[in-house]
Amino acid sequence: MNGRPPTGSMTGAVSFVSGPRRLPEPPAAITACISDLRSDASRGVASAQASRPATVGHHDHDGSVRPMVIGREASVSRAVVARPRDTRTYSEVGGGPARRSMPASSALPSSLAAITPEWLTAALREGGSLPAEGRVVSFELQRLGAGEGFLGELARIRPRYEGEPGGAPATFVAKMPSLVPENRALGVVFTAYEREIRFYRELASLTDVGMPRCYFGGLDPASTVDRAAERVLKGLPSRLTARILGKVMREAGKSKRRFVLLLEDLDGLRIGDQMRGLSVAEAEAALRALARFHAAYWEHAALEQPWLATADMGAGVAHEMFRRARPALEARFGAGFSPDARAALEWVDAHGPELLQRLAVHPRTLNHGDYRADNIFFDSAPGEAGDVTLIDFQALTVGCPMIDVAYFIRPNMNPADANTAELGLVDVYHRTLVEAGVSGYSLDRCRSDYVLGCLWVVHRGVILANMLELSDGRGVALLDRAVERAMAGASSIDLAAVHL
């Protein structure tokens, strides 16, 4: 890749403003169980403390757990910018060269407003980007557009250094959890914040695909509430879990757990536009990058990390959510569905859990999870191929790679282009996969898995269409277009030939 970086949003324009629709209240026993989570946390239940995975943070000699920190070993590439909202300047308070501060990883800010020059100094030093002879004495914080990151708060930071800053970045992007309880709940319950930070820490260095350089990443260890809610959800039947999910989400929205990323701020690259749709050349470039990303993690031992979700995780719950959401989708879009599109919906309704389970087994790799144009940057003019930079690793999932491929092709291209180029694009992906060293995965298998991936997109799309509250006109139009494109693709599937 060349050294020129991107301009655009961190996560695109589709925004979660509220979580899943309100579900019926669960039985009293389960309600009591959830209400007990908070009292468990205040008592500091010893068994819950003992159950924390060792990999959540760094263990000190006294047995306490420090938040994880990412340093220079993280993958080096490009980073991200977005449309500004407002700009403020912050300076040191009573500071000076002799002023001491706590380690950044043990004093994480709870919001963008809580960031201080002292904390930035500690964070950049801890991450290896700022030498001890330099410090941040003030900074300008420019919030990035409302709705750009539905799960998070984003800001560009321009620090002013004193001393010897060395190669410290002139600007960077801060990414933190949303302050909106419904949005924050999604990131906490589905471990989106933790996944992205741990990806940069533990897995990003395994691939050479372009992505933001991470200057610092830290998170608090999981609380008793976090772990107890996770155990409750995993231990209940799917129908009951679907009913109790709303209660758990409301509790998760109150979480005080802190997560912080400082990412390279890039200027000069071009963000993809899912509304416009990618050209065939752009799609080929994006799929070549995706194939290289998948190849790096193909059947890799790293896929066993306990913090990674699998494609079939909560399959029963997901399908219950699909069935609850389907009437709303059909009420909104159904008039435009062809008979073949309706048949695809019926097939997914009948085979959803088996489909999710099938896509969780061999071949397995690390899926990006939200591979769409708004999360892809190009170093070329619109419509042309070029080097690609990927952002937003909150939805990482272990499973069949064709989940990502199917999620990408139809929803991100105009139907006319997709109709003529679809199979050729799958071939480009497969050819690049082989060139990257993957063996034992035939083109025929790749194509048949792609069909299953297209049906998976229908399943996921029905759920998301019901969960998403869109904050602007572009978001509404984007959802409409993505559903139309995905259902048009599903209508071309020969369902009689599909085998799980």
Residue with the two structure tokens 């990806």:
199
User: Who has greater pLDDT, 250 or 66?
Assistant: 250
Distance in angstroms between the alpha carbons of the first and the last residue of the chain:
39
Q: Could you tell me if 97 and 135 are in contact, meaning their C-beta atoms sit under 8 angstroms apart?
A: yes
Q: Is the peptide bond before 363 cis (omega within 30 degrees of 0)?
A: yes
List the structure tokens of 415: 């139907």
pLDDT tens for residues 299-322? 999 999 999 999 998 888 889 889
DSSP SS3 for 173: strand
Burial string for 16-44 (b: 16+ CB within 10 Å, else e) reads bebbbeebeebeeebeebbeebeebbeee
* Residues 287 and 425 sit within 8 Å (Cβ to Cβ): yes
pLDDT band of residue 18 (cuts 50, 70, 90) is: very low
pLDDT tens for each residue of 345-387: 999 999 999 999 999 998 999 999 999 999 999 998 887 878 9
The more confident residue out of 394 and 191 is: 394
pLDDT per residue over 103-158, tens digit each?
A: 676 789 999 999 999 999 999 999 999 999 999 999 999 998 654 456 788 999 99
pTM for this one?
0.78
Angle at 170 between CA 165 and CA 171, to 5 degrees: 135
The DSSP line for 338-400 is -HHHHHHHHHHHHHHHHHHHHTTSSS-EEE-S--SGGGEEESS-TTS---EEE---TT-EEE-
Asked whether residue 227 carries a pLDDT value surpassing 80, the answer given is no
Residue 108 pLDDT: 95
Q: What are the structural domains, with CATH classification, of the chain?
A: 6-262 (no CATH), 272-497 (3.90.1200.10)
pLDDT value at 252 more than 90: no
The C-alpha atoms of residue 135 and residue 130 are separated, in whole angstroms, by 7
Q: Is the CB of residue 19 less than 8 Å from the CB of residue 186?
A: yes
User: pLDDT tens across 54-98, in order?
Assistant: 333 333 333 333 333 433 333 333 334 444 556 666 666 554 443
pLDDT tens digits along 375-385: 999 998 887 87
| Strand ranges in 201-300 using DSSP code E only, listed in sequence order | 214-219, 259-264, 269-271
Longest dimension (CA), the chain: 74
Q: Please name the residues in contact with 98: beta carbons below 8 A apart, sequence gap of 6 or more.
A: none
Classified as helix, coil or strand, 264 is: strand
- With a CB cutoff of 8 Å and minimum separation 6, the contacts of 255 are 184, 185, 188, 223, 225, 226
- What is the token pair recorded at 69? 């920190």
Cα–Cα distance for residue pair 281/287, rounded to 1 Å: 10
Q: How many CA atoms are closer than 13 Å to the CA of 122, on its beta-carbon side?
A: 19
